[in-house]
Amino acid sequence: MSSARRVVAREDVEGPVSAVVAAAVAEAEGVPPHELGATLYDAVDPDALDALYRREGTAVSVSFTHLGYRVSVDRDGTVTVAPE
């Protein structure tokens, strides 16, 4: 982990929630998403994550760790990435 900052992104702004998570973690690391040291699959199944938030009115929140960050996806699709 090369950064100690917190990143917040809205799912509905940039596409599927898995892509937003990858972009937010990359932003926290200060690198493009393709330069991250691990894929999102190393932490969570991106297709399953997208399916949870594809439905209108989903009432689920998900949290997991990825590359030394605590990643949270709120009910409304807000993605928060913070150092562990």
- pLDDT tens column, 13-41: 568 889 999 989 998 999 998 899 899 99
Pick 18 or 56 by higher pLDDT.
18
> In this structure, is the dihedral angle defined by the CA atoms of residues 48, 73, 44 and 15, taken in order, positive or negative?
positive
- Rounded Cα gap, residues 41 and 71, in angstroms: 14
- In whole angstroms, what is the distance from residue 35 CA to residue 48 CA? 23
pLDDT band at 1, cuts 50/70/90?
A: very low
pLDDT of residue 56: 74
